[in-house]
Amino acid sequence: MNMFNILTTKKMNTLKINNLELTYKNGHQAIRNISLEIKNGMFGLLGPNGAGKSSLMKTIVGLQKPSSGTIEFNDIDVVSQTEYIKKNLGFLPQDFGVYPKVNAYDLLNHIAVLKGINNKVERKNQIQYLLEKVNLWHFKDKEVHTFSGGMKQRFGVAQALLGNPKIIIVDEPTAGLDPEERNRFNTLLSDISNEVIVILSTHLVEDVKNLCSEMTIMNKGQILKTGRPKALITELQGKIWSKSINNEELEFYLTNFNVISQQLIERQLQITVFSPEQPEGFYSIEPLLEHVYFNVLSQNN
């Protein structure tokens, strides 16, 4: 049984975004005509720096208003009714800012009060349950600003889960974590996502590959491709080719082929290209999610 059964209901949740646009005061258009429909499970928002991931997330959680378009959560317009999403939301922002000098337990208690959990016993139960879940119960009396990066991120998840949210939005949560912490963190999110919507933004293909049932690739404020990771990989079957080349030849291949990656393998330069047909001298390789990502980015540059 999923341990989060006691915190969440099993209802299917839906987030519908339609024709969303956002232009900042300085004239920069950070979101361009985005439409998405997201249901329970883990949804990966993948894109390079500056793609607009944080802009999109901050707009969904109601921290900023879109210039146009609609956002509905379980059929309620949350652009006009921000309280509805705030009540049902857990948010782990990319930049949490400075932690006050209070211990983990007291900080969670404070946030729980702000989230409207007025019953003292219920607050205590939830805080203990969540601190145990994120492996921080042992550190409940330690001040959060003294935590390691991984511990801070797990604390961030605990605060996001207070109040039984139906939608959890985490903005680049694994950035700066070592592989072991990243694994632990990802497993935690994956556990939760059976019964709620979890939207995870990242620039790491690896995180999406291992965790997300559905994903979208965005860049320059636009959605470039959406689907299930496996299906997107299958689309590339028989279209990814590789070849070892000399450094001097690189220019030629960059100009004449759709090169999606280049890497040095034992000091030999190897390029991977996208092509519907086998280019001469290339051998076929199995497509990976990395190829999906770099192919989509390169075709939309």
Ligand X SMILES: Nc1ncnc2c1ncn2[C@@H]1O[C@H](COP(=O)(O)OP(=O)(O)OP(=O)(O)O)[C@@H](O)[C@H]1O
Tokens of 197: 């919507």
Nearest approach in angstroms of CB 169 to Mg ion is: 12
**194 is a site residue for Mg ion (CB under 5 A):** no
- Interacting residue with ligand X among 13, 40, 54, 216 (CB under 6 A): 54
Q: Where are the alpha helices (DSSP H) in 149-285?
A: 149-161, 179-192, 205-211, 229-235, 250-256
Among 8, 40, 55, 109, binds ligand X (CB under 6 A): 55
Instruction: Return the closest-CA partner of residue 293 out of 191, 202, 212, 225.
Output: 225
Pick one of Mg ion, ligand X, none as the site partner of residue 28 (Cβ within 5 to 8 A by kind). ligand X
Rounded Cα gap, residues 239 and 236, in angstroms = 5
**Minimum distance from residue 54 beta carbon to Mg ion (Å):** 3
Task: State the binding partner of 252 from Mg ion, ligand X, none, CB within 5 to 8 A by kind.
Answer: none
Comparing CA positions, the residue from 201, 169, 229, 209 lying closest to residue 13 is: 169
Give whichever of 53 and 152 is closer to Mg ion, judged by the CB atom.
Answer: 53
Q: Which of 42, 46, 51, 112 binds ligand X (CB under 6 A)?
A: 51
Per CB under 6 A, 176 contacts ligand X: no
Cβ(299)–Cβ(219) below 8 Å: no
Choice between 47 and 287, CB closer to ligand X:
47
Q: Which is nearer to Mg ion, 61 or 127 (by Cβ)?
A: 61
DSSP for 23-40, written as a single string: E-TTS-EEEEEEEEEEES
By CB under 6 A, is residue 88 in contact with ligand X? no
Q: Does 252 bind ligand X (CB under 6 A)?
A: no
Among 51-59, 85-93, 182-190, 236-244, the segment contacting Mg ion (CB under 5 A): 51-59
Tell the burial category of 29 from Cβ atoms under 10 Å away from its Cβ (0-12, 13-18, 19+).
middle
Cα 205 off chain centre by: 10
Is 54 an interacting residue with respect to Mg ion (CB under 5 A)?
yes
Interacting residues of 231 by C-beta distance below 8 A, sequence separation 6+ = none
Extract the tokens encoding 272.
């991977």
94 near ligand X, judged by CB under 6 A:
yes
Stretch that binds ligand X, among 25-33, 177-185, 237-245, 292-300 (CB under 6 A): 25-33
C-alpha–C-alpha distance, residues 205 and 16, integer Å? 24
Site for Mg ion in 73-132 (CB under 5 A): 94
Binding part of the chain for Mg ion, among 13-21, 38-46, 53-61, 284-292 by CB under 5 A, reads 53-61
**Whole-number minimum distance, CB 170 to Mg ion, in Å?**
11
* Torsion over CA: 169, 171, 176, 182 (sign): positive
Residues in touch with ligand X (CB under 6 A): 24, 26, 28, 30, 47, 49-55, 94, 172, 203
